[in-house]
Amino acid sequence: MRVLVVSGIWPPDVGGPASHAPDVIAFLREHGHQVEVVVTASAVPAQEAYPVRWIPRALPKGVIHVRAGLEIARRAAHADVVYTTGMFGRSSLGAAFARRPYVVKLTADPAFERARRRGIVGGNVDEFQYGAASAAVRVLRVARDAELKHAAHVFTPSEYLRELALSWGVDSARVSVLPNPTPLLPTLAPREELRRGFGLTGPTLAFAGRLTAQKSLRVALEAVASVEGVELLIAGEGDERETLEQEVAELGLAERVRFLGALPRARVVELFAGADASILSSTWENFPHTVVEALAVGTPVIATATGGVGEVVRDGENGLLVPLGDSAALGAAIRRYFDDEELRRRLHAGAAPSVAKYAPERIFAQLEQTLQRVARTLPR
- DSSP line for 7-42: ES--TTS-SHHHHHHHHHHHHHHHTT-EEEEEEEES
Over residues 243-259, the mean pLDDT reads: 97
Give tens-digit pLDDT for 286-338. 888 899 999 999 999 999 999 899 999 999 999 999 999 999 999 999 999 99
Report pLDDT for 122: 81
pLDDT score of 210 more than 70: yes
Is 308 in contact with 286 (CB distance < 8 Å)?
A: yes
Report pLDDT for 185: 83
Among the residue ranges 21-35, 112-126, 143-157, 237-251, the one predicted with the least confidence is: 112-126
Report pLDDT for 265: 86
Residue 135: partners with Cβ closer than 8 Å, 6 or more residues away: none
Q: What is the DSSP letter of 181?
A: P
> Which helix (DSSP H) or strand (DSSP E) does residue 232 occupy?
strand 231-235
Question: What's the pLDDT band for 18 if we cut at 50, 70, 90?
Answer: confident
Q: How far apart are CA 290 and CA 180, in angstroms?
A: 10
Proportion of the chain above pLDDT 90, given as a percent: 81
Q: How far apart are CA 347 and CA 55, in angstroms?
A: 44
Q: What is the DSSP letter of 157?
A: S
Report pLDDT for 287: 86
Give tens-digit pLDDT for 33-78. 999 999 999 899 988 999 999 999 999 988 999 999 999 999 999 9
Report pLDDT for 33: 98
Domains of the chain: 2-181+359-375 (3.40.50.2000), 191-357 (3.40.50.2000)
Average pLDDT, the chain: 93
pLDDT score of 379 more than 70: no
Over residues 183-209, the mean pLDDT reads: 93
Question: What's the pLDDT band for 130 if we cut at 50, 70, 90?
Answer: confident
Q: How far apart are CA 22 and CA 28, in angstroms?
A: 10
Over residues 276-287, the mean pLDDT reads: 93
Question: What's the pLDDT band for 192 if we cut at 50, 70, 90?
Answer: very high
Greater model confidence, 127 or 269:
269
Over residues 143-159, the mean pLDDT reads: 94
Report pLDDT for 17: 83
pLDDT score of 189 more than 70: yes
Question: What's the pLDDT band for 123 if we cut at 50, 70, 90?
Answer: confident
Cα 268-271-276 angle, rounded to 5 deg = 140
- Over the range 169-191, which residues count as b (16 or more CB within 10 Å of their CB) and which as e? ebeeebbebbbbbbbeeeebeeb
pLDDT score of 121 more than 90: no
Q: What is the pTM of this model?
A: 0.87
pLDDT score of 380 more than 60: no
Report pLDDT for 247: 97
Greater model confidence, 14 or 166:
166
Question: What's the pLDDT band for 27 if we cut at 50, 70, 90?
Answer: very high
**Among 173, 171, 164, which residue's Cα sits nearest to residue 125?**
164
Cα 244-201-276 angle, rounded to 5 deg = 70
Alpha helices in the chain (DSSP H): 16-30, 61-76, 88-98, 110-117, 125-130, 135-149, 159-167, 191-197, 217-225, 241-250, 265-274, 289-296, 327-339, 341-354, 360-375
Residue 261: partners with Cβ closer than 8 Å, 6 or more residues away: 235, 236, 237
